[in-house]
Structure 1
Amino acid sequence: MDLSKLDLSKLQASSKIGDEWAYPQAEPNRTGLLQVDHAPDHKLYWEEYGAPDGEPVMFLHGGPGGACAPVMARFFDPARYRVILFDQRGCGKSEPTVASAGAKVALTNNTTDHLVADIVALRQALGIDGKMHVFGGSWGSTLAMVYAIRHPEHVASLILRGVFLGTREDLLYMYQGNAARYEAAPFELTEPGSYVTYPDEWKAFVEVIPPGERGDMMGAYKAIFDMTPASEAERERQLGAALAWSVWEGTISNMIPEPAEAGKFGEADFALCFAQIEAHFFANQLFLPADYIIANADKLVGIDTHIVHGRFDQVCPLPQASRLAATLTALGAPPASFIVTNAGHSAMERDTALALTAIMDGLPRL
């Protein structure tokens, strides 16, 4: 076979949704900054899309630290829904960010409890007095469930994509894998993990950390993030680690990775926010008691819960969604829908995006 005549681009088609969206990209009706805290003065950047008097949807982005983008409003019928996108503390267009003010400032008063309180404050500031749909993916699904557990009276439905329960084993699957033995046996399948599917990308992630420190990859990365750079070399090392962390997750979020297109995950400001906020939350067990969501799943009974999860998700593997569905079923409140798509983790994967849009189109009207 003459490989020189082989068009490699035809062997790897993108799994992303492309131009198959049901609804066009729109401009926000309005935007704003809402002050939610002092010392530091945390301000949330928010945008509103769709019908100003429509059914409210609170969109919770992933990460933590992932920020929102206008494309995230395309899951929703603009004639029916009033969609609120906002950037969580420390990232995106909220103020201050890790990239602009540094981790010491932006991570002060930045915990799950603070983020839940921010949702309450934003809901109240925007005059959403009754129930709303809460839509979250990945870490956004975690935050959505925590909010619903604590404020069920304001949740009409939960729409969860790429369920993340946030247990220690969930984190080890993605960030630890075979790292401890990587130097001696890089291709040995010693532990379960995302590295099995993405070995080249894993190599780039692991080799940022010296071999002697790979027994705790998350801890080793956080030590780099926590240092105050005293030289240009240290600043470059910190940024390099943030980019490696960010690109690792961004790349493996897609069933068919596109390594030449790191997108926002390869941008310095995004990576600094994304990586350092994630490491901050993960080092503190998401600022939640162990197995908090499963232990409090009874609080979700009475809320219509819809789950969409990619079968090939290597950021938040499918057993997390299956465990949540089984727990709700055992409580007598099975998910209103549980759709497993032929996709990876990203909300922008074709089958997942279409399933989420179909769920929103089919929800009973408030």
Structure 2
Amino acid sequence: MEQTPVDFEDGLLDVGDGHRIYWRAQGPRHAPVMLVVHGGPGGAMDIKWADALEADKWRVVFFDQRGCGKSEPFGKLEHNGIDALVGDMEKLREALNIERWAIFGGSWGTTLGLAYGVAHPERCTGFLLRGVFLARREDIDWFLWDVRRVFPEAHRAFLDAIETACGKRPKTAQEILALTEAPLARFDDAGTKLARAWTNYETTLSVVNKPEKEKDAPDEEKRPSAEANSAAISMALLERHYMANELPPMPLLPLVARIAHLPCRIVHGRFDVVCPADQAIALAAHWPGADLSVVNAAGHWTFEPGNIAALKIGAKALAEAIGKA
């Protein structure tokens, strides 16, 4: 059965510093607005996230962050930091003439969504967060190094790829960030192979319950080669850039009090080894009114059945809470 085409509007917004961000808006114009904040850093919007929302309940706004997706220029690291991205979100709100909106973020999108929220609490109506990433040093070290205790084969293959590209095998998380800077920045064949290895490593860690049907596989497994290469380059390049230069940001947890009066629904896979569940529990502890759903038999990937089911429940509850406010 063919799906009914979704009416949408889109464009490129000049945010300064030589950057233009791509955005897309869809859904009823009279409905409350939900801003979708993608992961990475270096990921891109995925309009399938809207499937977790009731289509008639939200006006959904997507955007690609600086340097990735359809934003221009591709892969630019200059003027690409968390404060700039928060500023871009506010410029997008103003450009679209939106008074207030809810934030739907996953993984790095939770970091950026929270950073925007504590900077502009008066512009937020509520939060739907999946796979919380607090971007503390221990969270970065876990992803780059300590997770080898759970995925030793994947971590060994990751280090093999770095050694092939750099001629040296990293011995710490900080060495991973130092050694991968030059090859990832070259955009040549060796850099692309390293970017693909970085992305494959993250994908391997992300999925616990992968749906059997090919059509439900993660997008990166279905993309044409050139598109997959670009997606891998932006993900690896920008993740390395942010982990080395932008993170940890100002500690987020002490600032949550600025938005703790707003409704929040948190969904986190029990077996998320990209962003372990202690981060979601720590966030909930600083947000007394937040509702936390830890999903058993689910990992980091948004589209695992348990995560999607919990997100749909959370989105419906968030819409009701906003409607009563």
| CA positional deviation for 1:302 | 0.9
CA contact (8 A) 1:294 1:327 kept: yes
Contact 2:160/2:169, CA 8 A, preserved across alignment:
no
- Residue 48 to residue 311, structure 1, CA distance change in 2 (3 Å): same
Tell me which residue corresponds to 1:43.
20
**Which residue among 63, 83, 106 is the counterpart of 1:113?**
83
Deviation sequence 1:278-317 (CA, Å, 0-9, x none) = 000000242623xx11121221221112111000000000
Mean CA deviation greater in 234-243 or 118-127: 234-243
Range that drifts further, 25-34 or 198-207: 25-34
**Map of 1:344-359 to 2, 5 A cutoff?**
344-359=299-314
State the match for 2:293 in structure 1.
339
Amino acid aligned to 2:28: A
Cα distance in 1 for partners of 2:4, 2:120 equals 31
TM-score (norm 2): 0.87
Residue correspondence of structure 1 range 22-61 to structure 2 within 5 A? 26-38=5-17, 40=18, 42-61=19-38
Q: Is 1:245 matched with 2:198?
A: yes
For 2:4 and 2:150, locate their aligned partners in 1 and report how far apart those are by CA, in whole Å: 33
Letter in 2 for 1:43: R
Which residue is equivalent to 2:48? 71
2:175, 2:73 → 1: CA distance? 25
Q: Distance in 2 between matches of 1:119 and 1:229?
A: 26
Q: Is 1:286 the equivalent of 2:250?
A: no
Residue in 2 that maps onto 1:322: 281
Match 2:171 to one of 211, 215, 219 = 215
User: In structure 2, do the counterparts of structure 1 residues 112 and 166 end up closer, same or farther at CA, with 3 Å as the change threshold?
Assistant: same
Q: Deviations over 1:152-207 (max 9, x none)?
A: 10111111110000011111111112xxxxxxxxxxxxxxx2x3333332221121
Q: 1:102-181 alignment to 2 at 5 Å?
A: 106-129=76-99, 131-177=100-146
Could you tell me how far 1:338 is from its partner in structure 2? Answer: 0.6
2:68 paired residue number: 91
Distance 1:217 1:139 in 2: 18
- Give a deviation string over 1:235-276, Cα, whole Å, max 9, x none: 222111111111111221101469x97742782110110000
Task: Out of 113-122 and 201-210, give the one that drifted further.
Answer: 201-210
The answer for the alignment partner of 1:198 in structure 2 is: 151
Gaps of 5+ in 2: none
Tell me the secondary structure at the aligned position of residue 207 of structure 1: helix
Change (3 A) 1:309 1:156: same
Superposed CA RMSD: 2.4
TM-fit CA distance, 1:110:
0.4
Q: 1:323 to 1:26 in 2, by over 3 A?
A: farther
Give 1 or 2 for the bigger CA radius of gyration. 1
TM-aligned CA deviation for residue 327 of structure 1: 2.3
Q: 1:262 to 1:56 in 2, by over 3 A?
A: closer
Identity fraction in percent: 33
User: How high is the TM-score relative to the length of structure 1?
Assistant: 0.78
SS of residue paired to 2:110: helix
1:46 is paired with a residue whose SS is strand
Picking from 268, 271, 274, the partner of 1:312 is 271
Provide the secondary structure at the position in 2 that maps to 1:360.
helix
Determine the structure 1 residue equivalent to 2:315. 360
Indicate the SS of the match to 1:72.
helix
Task: Please say if residues 58 and 83 of structure 1, whose CA atoms lie closer than 8 Å, have aligned partners that are also in contact.
Answer: yes
- 1:262-281 to 2 correspondences below 5 Å: 263-264=219-220, 267-281=228-242
Letter in 1 for 2:278: P
**SS of 1:288's equivalent?**
coil
Mapped partners of 1:229, 1:318: distance in 2 = 32
Decide whether aligned partners of structure 1 residues 229 and 133 sit closer, same or farther in structure 2, where only a CA change above 3 A counts: closer
SS in 1 for 2:252: helix
Deviations 1:112-146 (A, max 9, x none): 000000000001111101x2111101000011111
Structure 1 runs of 4+ aligned residues shifted over 4 Å read: 227-230, 260-263
